[in-house]
Structure 1
Amino acid sequence: MYDVTIIGAGVSGIFMAYELTKRYPEAKIMLIDKGKKLSERNCKARSKQECLCDVCDQYIGFAGLGKSEGKFNYTNDFGGSLGRKIGTVQAEKLMWEVDRILCSFGGEEAELYHTHSPELEVSAKSVGLEVLTTSVRHLGTKRSHHVFQSLYEVLTKRIDLWFGTDVYSIEKSDSFEINTSKGNIKTKKVVLSTGNSGSEWMYRQCEQLGLLPGPARLDLGIRVEMRENQLEAILKDTFETKLHIKREAFEGTTYCMNPNGRIIRKYQHGLVMPDGQNKREQDKAGNNLNFTLFVPSFYSSKEEADLVAQQVIGGINRGRDRIVVQRLQDLKKQQATTSHILSSNSIVPSLDGEAGNLIDEVPNIYLGALREFFDSLEKLIGEPIDEETLLYGIDGKFYEAKIPTNDSFETDVTGLFLIGDCSGETHSLSQAAASGLYAAKMI
């Protein structure tokens, strides 16, 4: 009989397991994941057609999305609602505890930087924008791999870990019985930490236990690629910034700003989207800066949100890796960008997209939001946005519909907990990890 069984070895599950072993060294802990050990997560496919994984390990397996660039934002301003759930002071304290743990496993080699700029906040407010601030520990892919491998080596000596394991059912009586592809497990408590990748499975399990999800959120937005020096006026004191715009019809936030970065393809939920890659992940720095302006929408269910994503993003993809790119100048003229025009553009695209017209591909709310954002941004930087700036359609951020949990992340089924992104409360590595620490303290 296990004391606690954690299903999902992403950052929330890892940090919870680590904290449990410190607080309760005699407890019997199991950590299960459908994916592979970190050392075996080697998929480098550049498209879903090239991927030969039964379960693609770009997103699934030990460390989950923490295996990617390992960007930890320590803030309550964005990245989830953990602060509203457990209190902003406690949430911030736990995020800094996450940082301390990362540093104890080699993360201190990545310099901590801050985006706070009082002068910029005042200037942004005067043009109708808000600056969201954070402190950032950006590990990078190689260092992130080292940090999480070191955590794995500690955990493997203290708990049981099963990889490549399918969980078929979770049944509740006095305790829980988990039926898996490797046999049955009896456990006193169950923690689901399956992230966004395991949402369909999680909803099925929760439904069988009488738990139903609520409304869901979906963020879509245009990824922008512009001259790297165009934002010098607002980036002189910070490596990046995060700007928020709110109007009567919409609100939007810039995410994943990458000075000297490039745009790559992101594969999630069978969809292909433009994503930003930091210059630290490249052999040499680029000449462009990129970011996405995400606009959130809310739906009655996760199924409805996923259907919209399939219609919008899937409609652009057309069953392949298609991403549309258009110059700002052509968008303003409501005309398509051609491949000939793109070949002579002064801002050279870092992603091989298909030249076209976003007006025909993207719902107007996202284009309208971007136009209004650019109007305010031009006032903030004191110059027009270069009309050869490139716009890519369309990026997406996916969220879980919330299944109600109490202040300890426990559901209405006694002994069943939801943490990390699958709880619907966190949307970032730092808040997900912090939720794991918190649940370990409360359980």
Structure 2
Amino acid sequence: MQSNYYDITIIGAGVSSVFLAYTLMKHNEHISIHMIDLGKKLSERTCGLDEGRGCTCEGVCSKYIGFAGLGKSEGKFNYTNDFGGELGRKIGNQTTLDLMKEVDDILCEFGGDFIPSYSTKNDTLSKRARMVDVKVLSTEVRHLGTRLASDIFQRMYEVLKNRITFSFETHIDTISKHDPGFHLKSNSGDFTTEKLVIGTGMSGSTWLKKQAASLGLFPGKTRLDMGVRVEMKGDQLQSILEDTFETKLKIERDSFSATTYCMNPRGRIIRKHQHGLVMPDGQNARENDIPGANLNFSLFVPRYFHSHGEAMDYAVSTIGGINQGRERIVVQRLEDFKLHRNTESLEGNLIGPSLKAECGNLREEVPELYSIALKEFFASLESLIGEPIHHDTLLYGLDAKYYEPKLPTDKNFETDVSNLYLIGDCSGETHSLSQAAASGIYLGKHLGR
């Protein structure tokens, strides 16, 4: 097949890559850009999981792979340095905030201002929380929802395709270094490029590990967050949510820290499929025509492992043990959890479950660390809201958030291999849509010069 040359090739068409390409296009009209992705165009990304059924995809799952990546999943952009990655440490906190403002401006340029942004900052709550050893993490939020996020990224694609060459459903088999650039072999032909940017996110972790090793790059430690998803009375946290749509709370102890994640007032719990595992995930009220009556969130405890493989083995062993080779998720009432007894039935439970799960005993199926964290957090939360957590609160096991192993890069995201860059979640520096997009803009300005 004919070999095609480009100034810059981007592997992966997720959020970081889309914002990188858009910035490059705006800053330099002369460079040739090629974007390659294993998945499909956004308009062709359909999966039964989107409709509450099983995966209907052949090969890679279109729910997670393809143009816009996870950007279309919920479209939640948190503009903060408090969580969502360590981009601020790498390029400076103010620079990161400025870049995230640019991310939001671009989203609004393509229709994101249809949904108003909101802030979770609450100085009064923060002061109260400090008195009970709880830290309140705050952010500006633009929560687009799946439909609007898909529309926005489709509009961005319509603009990008006029300047950028796209290769979808393309698997890069090998990457070889040829100074000053790279030679790529794929199922769609061979390509050469002067500069190569990889933005494959979490989905391409196995592939990236193999390619990095072939180029002499080896990752360090890998983070894995796991924890229980909680479903409680919709008004249980009213006293701390009066002025904000949601909040993010953190406790820190000598041996662990625990942080609430993806808090969904009036939301529902759905099944999430990742890495062959099934987990309880939160769905916001905006994703449903009929809002739920409950509030849900996950309480994540981060752990660090020596390698990505070790982290994944731990997740597969723990969550896979709960799944039992099927889509099993275990649920337990808070009262039963406290009394170390099985939950036999949820019939008549004041808090109706929004997810059909199997009653059981979390303490028997979840590592002790996550039970201890949950117990400590609830004690602090009760002090903060001034009342007991309702005993019919439901606990689902086990949710997880995966991270890429971090490969060393300099301040411009360039690896030890000249002209090879990593952005977004696969860089290990970002863990959110907003910071991933910001990293794309940052690199786009650098390369665009």
So what's the TM-score if we normalise by structure 1? 0.98
Query: Hey, which bits of structure 1, 4+ residues long, moved more than 6 A?
Result: none
- Which residue does 1:78 correspond to in 2? 83
CA contact (8 A) 2:47 2:55 kept: no
Q: Which moved more, 1:424-433 or 1:171-180?
A: 171-180
Q: Work out whether 1:302 is the aligned partner of 2:308.
A: yes
- Pairing partner for 2:178 from 156, 173, 176: 173
Contact 1:193–1:422 under 8 Å retained in 2: yes
- AA at the equivalent of 1:96: K
- Superimposed CA distance per residue, residues 38-85 of structure 1 (whole angstroms, 9 cap, x where no aligned partner): 000011236895433321100000000001110000000000000000
The residue matched to 2:236 in structure 1 has which SS? helix
Among 128, 143, 146, the alignment partner of 2:133 is 128
Distance 1:48 1:295 in 2: 29
Distance (whole Å) between structure 2 residues aligned to residue 212 and residue 222 of structure 1: 32
Cα separation, 2, equivalents of 1:297 and 1:249: 10
| Match in the other structure for 1:149 | 154
Identity level (%):
59
Checking the alignment, whether the CA contact within 8 Å between 1:7 and 1:191 is kept in structure 2 is yes
Residue identity matched to 1:376 = S
**In 1: Cα distance, 2:253 partner to 2:436 partner:** 29
Q: Which residue of 1 aligns with 2:121?
A: 116
Q: In the aligned structure 1, how far is the partner of 2:360 from the partner of 2:406?
A: 37
**What SS does structure 2 have at the residue aligned with 1:158?**
coil
* Alignment: residue pair count: 441
Aligned mate of 2:299, from 293, 296, 300: 293
- In structure 2, the partner of 1:270 is 276
Q: Secondary structure at the match of 2:77?
A: strand
- Taking a change above 3 Å as real, the CA distance of residues 49 and 115 of structure 1, as seen in their structure-2 partners, is closer
- Distance (Å, rounded) in 2 between the aligned partners of 1:67 and 1:387: 36
Q: Alpha-carbon deviation of 1:281?
A: 0.3
Q: State the match for 2:112 in structure 1.
A: 107
Note if 1:249 corresponds to 2:255: yes
- Counterpart CA distance in 2 for 1:166 and 1:176 is 16
Q: Which residue of 1 aligns with 2:62?
A: 57
Residues of 2 paired with 1:49 and 1:13: CA distance? Answer: 29
Q: Residue 221 of structure 1: SS of its match in structure 2?
A: strand
- The alignment status of 1:354 with 2:358, answered yes or no, reads yes
Query: Which residue of 1 is the match for residue 415 of structure 2?
Result: 411
Of the structure 1 ranges 51-60 and 99-108, higher mean CA displacement relative to structure 2 is found in: 51-60
* Aligned residue runs from structure 1 range 18-29, under 5 A: 18-29=22-33
Question: Match of 1:387?
Answer: 391
Contact 1:43–1:53 (CA<8 Å) still a contact in 2? no
2:167 alignment partner in structure 1: 162
Contact 2:55 2:61 in 1 (8 A): no
Quote how far apart the aligned CAs of 1:279 are: 0.2
Q: Compute the TM-score of the two structures, normalised by the length of structure 2.
A: 0.97
Query: Does the 8 Å CA contact 1:47/1:321 hold for their aligned counterparts?
Result: no
Give the alignment partner of residue 196 of structure 1, picking from 189, 194, 202. 202
Say if 1:326 and 1:358, in contact at 8 Å, map to a contact too: yes
Determine if the alignment matches structure 1 residue 88 to structure 2 residue 93.
Answer: yes
Q: Give the aligned residue type for 2:213.
A: E
What secondary structure sits across from 2:328 in the alignment? Answer: coil
The answer for the alignment partner of 2:191 in structure 1 is 185
1:11 matches 2:3: no
Aligned to 1:327: 333
Q: 1:265 is paired with a residue of what secondary structure?
A: strand
Matched, 1:226 2:229: no
Give the 3 Å change call, closer, same or farther, for CA 190–48 of structure 1 in structure 2. Answer: farther
State the 1:169 CA deviation: 0.6
- Amino acid of the structure 1 residue aligned with 2:242: K
